[in-house]
Structure 1
Amino acid sequence: MSKSIRVFLFVVLVLCRTILLAQNHAPDHTSSSGRQVIIDEINKTEQLSDTTIAIQTLHRIIAENGADAEIQIKAFIASGNVQLQAGHFQHALKQYQSALRFAAQAPPYFSLCHNKIGNAYNMLSDQDNAAWHYNRSARYSESIASSVIPASYAYSNLGTILSQQKQYDKALYYTEKGIVLARKSKDQKFLATLILNKGLNQNLKGENELALRTLDTAAQLCRKEHFDRKLFTVLLNMGNIHLELKQPEQALKTYTEARALLAAGNGIPSNEINSLYRQLSDIYFQQKQYTLSQHYLDAADAYATNSPIDKYLTHYQQARLAFEQGHYKNAYEEIEQFRKIKDSIESSEIVLKVQELETKYRTLEKDKEISDKSAQISTQSQQLFQKNLWITIFILSFLILAGVFTWWRLKRRTVARMEKKTQEIEKLQHILLGEETERKRLAQELHDGINSQLSGAKSYMLAIGNKFPELTEESYYNKVKEILDHTSKELRSMAHNLAPGELNKGLVQAVTQFTARVQTEQVHIEFQHYGYFNQLSELQSINLYRIIQELVHNGLKHAQASEIIVLINEYPNEYCIIVEDNGRGFIQKEDAATEGIGLNNIRDRVHLLQGSLTIESTAQSGTTFAIHVPKLMALPASVPKAAM
């Protein structure tokens, strides 16, 4: 064994011994176990009933761990949760925004921070800002594989906001996206919640039969997984829809199943139990079984809340029962109480406030599910670390030893691959540089040559029309004039596409004007951008612009799309471009060489930028192109500018 290998193995043994000693050492802020102690303290502090002590403790943790981004994020989010539960929504928003500032050092927390900020804006009744942050949360969750919060949760909150704004179709679209992601991640509990939300939106749209089928799917999932708490909510909503459809027998059957779940004590809220008993009382009242109706109405009263609407409905039902049973004095008293509450809640402002509070309650309930999920993931990660520590130590030694013997071979292969890749990139650079130069030359010739000749022809036509006014009445004369005008516009547009002058003002300005120019009444193109793009080199800007240009044209010409979304994001180390259309899609070919010229051209430009391209497409379901390009790359400084 050579001397260098012996030295290397000695270093490995020292490293292993250091790891073992660190495991037996008392926890500190830099060790994994020490960090877990702090995270556990954050989780326990968030559950304290004394809001003031909880916030003071969390601020102390923040001050003592300023260098640890993950602890800062968790502590700020926990502080925001405490403020949110206490009703201090503006303070909660500031805490969540502070957490977001640290997320740049821990990208997996981007989505969670944006989701929390969306919750705070929702509590502040700023639905537009809430929807914007929920949308960013979903985007980050899908683009960052290790995201703390699944994208399905963000899509669920986005759907709730859109439903609150009565945009039910959009709400169903994002809820469906959440369902797909929840199925992929096998998150059965949240899948049941999303299917329930889908059914509620269908009911709000007036599609009651379809809503019943959707809710029945949620109920079957809850029964299979023994989600009794969620099953109760699903059954309660199914019974309400049966009553809307004048199906009391089916409603009674559904409510009876829900009532059977109460015996297990599943932490079902009082307001839902109150609603169930009131609905049972109403059904038996319709059947003239007044004794049973009174029994369930008394049971509902035992779970009465301070909600004005609950009191309003209870007094109304009590008045009806008393009247039918001949207790007219009681009926009069109940109807008087009913009228007083009715007058107080008929104000449109109060009704809207009640609806807003219900939406906020549902958001807080979902937020609790997200927090529980995050804590569960954190605990599982710590247990997995402890379990695999010893295995990692032995495997590490073996892998490093194997790497010593294979290092020189891998180095030679790596050098060869890098040389080949460098040659390919240089070749692509020259090809695309030449192509861009030729585009600009053609644009110049079209602008200065053919377009100038067309302008001259138009001038002669106008002169002839002025000299011989009778020609202006001739259809052939006007047709020729129209053809010249149209051809001149087409040439200007072609020259502009070949060498867009807006690129001198930046990529965002160029894409904005391009999308506005190609958009039609039949096709809506939405362009969104987040970040700063002033540091892009000229060649980077040109290639990114050409990629977007090609993808949008594909959506217009080949996919026959009616809606195209273009999204450009800046991340700490890369730029991300997403182009999504709702067109007819296509089946991807295994051999890239058999793909069309346009797609191959896109792949070449992405390869030149040392980026990656992902395509998701199925027939009749639209296509999504995702392109990730690193910020730092070896590219030519510039390309020749066009004289336009």
Structure 2
Amino acid sequence: MIEKKIVTLIIFFYSILSFSQKKDEVEFINDFKKSEEFFTQKKYSISLEKSLKLFSRLDTTNYSELYFKTSFLIGDIFRETNDHKKAIVYYKKALKSFNNENNLTYNEKTTPSPSINDVNLNKLLLRVGSEFHIIKEKDSAISYYKRILSSGTLNQLDLTTKASAYSNLSNIYREDSIYDLAKEYSYESVKIYRKANKKVLESAALGNLASIYLEQKNYKEAKKIYLEGLDLIKLDSSSRATRYKEFLYFNLAYTLYLQKDYRAYDYQEKSYNIKDDLRDVEIRRIVDEIYTKHELNLEKEKTALVEEQRKLKEAQEAKASLLFGALSILVLIISGIVIYNYKLRQKNLKLKLSESNLIQQQNIEKLKSEAQVKILNATIDGKETERKLIAEILHDNVSALLSSANMHLTATRKQFNGNTPQEIEKTQAIISEASQKVRDLSHNLVSSILLKFGLEYAIKDVAKKYSNSQIKFDISAQNINRYNQEFEIKIFNVMQELINNILKHSKAQNAQINLKEEGTQLTILVKDDGVGFSTSSSSISDGIGLNQIEARIHVMNGKLTINSKENSGTSVHISVPIIKQEKNFKLTSVS
């Protein structure tokens, strides 16, 4: 009888324990689904906060499958936010969890455990290899990619993952100029994607293959493969296909440019249009994430305030209960103390709330200021790109057509043996005038000297143009080389704005411009002996356009210093990090 009661008691306690564990498991699963949902919505900061809390709770449990999925999700969050070293840490935790679940290493077993069936092992190995690839640890990346290639082929997911590994290995060998091996792996990738009917991924793999031929200067084959990749996704408007179209158009334009094919500009324009659309989407995503984070912070502060008020209320009720049973002679004294404490706490609470609101307001103003600077510079970048494109069209197309027309008219005049009709002479004069205006307009939009010969010669040309009997510009340049073209255009526009300020406002007789490359910095000094101005004036930026210069230098991570006094001239010192010239084609990595 006693033994039966003991057994019943044991069963009862076991049922309670099982119910508690089941309740915990349901709670963990719900928390994971919420984190995963925020990740899908690209609210990475919220997803990361919830995932890390869940991960720390799972660390002491035996829920291995959920531990595996959570560490994998955290790795994906760090991957999306470009913190690749932390992504590797959590991907390796997921691998370790996978191995413990199977009691085998991934070299010994190729079939994922039935208990962890939502994420393919090869996909996880590809993630780790891709992160090592991004941080330039190529040997580690190659090791993980080849583990994928040596595994068995189980399903469609394994095949496409292997194709991605082939493609990424091809990129590594291309970077090391091992072109034969790079092409071999690239062809394997294309073959798998084609068999699986993955047209978007096949187009990316074809783009990488074409880039290998481009580096080998086999322009004909590169052009053929780029066009083949574009044809696969010409009707696909998905975000991934759009990104691949952008780099395929850009690289095809560069290939045609090297062949001196004028159609390069058409494809380059298509690439720029897609890039502008992608940039708009990214800006909207950033703004949404900032707004969501701001709302989350406000909600936390509200929750903390409510909790503080609840605790305060409980303390007051406890004190009231204690005082109620005290001696009547102490009631008045204790009541006075309670009221005093209550008012003091309320005052402190108000002070804390005011301080919190002030800090929040400052953060909002900072975000607004940074957003305004980004919008201003995005506008300036768009104008610079548009001016450059128009200038190139005028110079390379319209000017060429006018010159051709003029040559035909000259040939026609010779056929008249000196009796040229007046209309032909007038037409030729009009074409010559139009050609000169087109050249002047092209030069005003973007300096042709800047594009052909670089920053130093373009600045000297501007200074020579504006120097006269009233003002003289003295130019000096040290160690100035050719830089990234967009970088040169931005610096040139800043210099033009400063020169215009001198001409319009300074009344100077002499101006000095010094350009110097010092290590990784380009330093610029612009001085004049003009009337100067007071740097304490609040209308300086509005009066001479320094607001745009300040915004431009700020986004370029540079420093701007202005020294000026009334009747004592002005000096402007600028220091910006140099952006070197890069190769004019792009590659993509599939992971």
Q: TM-score, normalised on structure 1?
A: 0.40
Relative contact order, CA 8 A, sep 6+: which one is greater? 2
Q: TM-score, normalised on structure 2?
A: 0.43
Q: Larger Cα Rg: Structure 1 or Structure 2?
A: 2
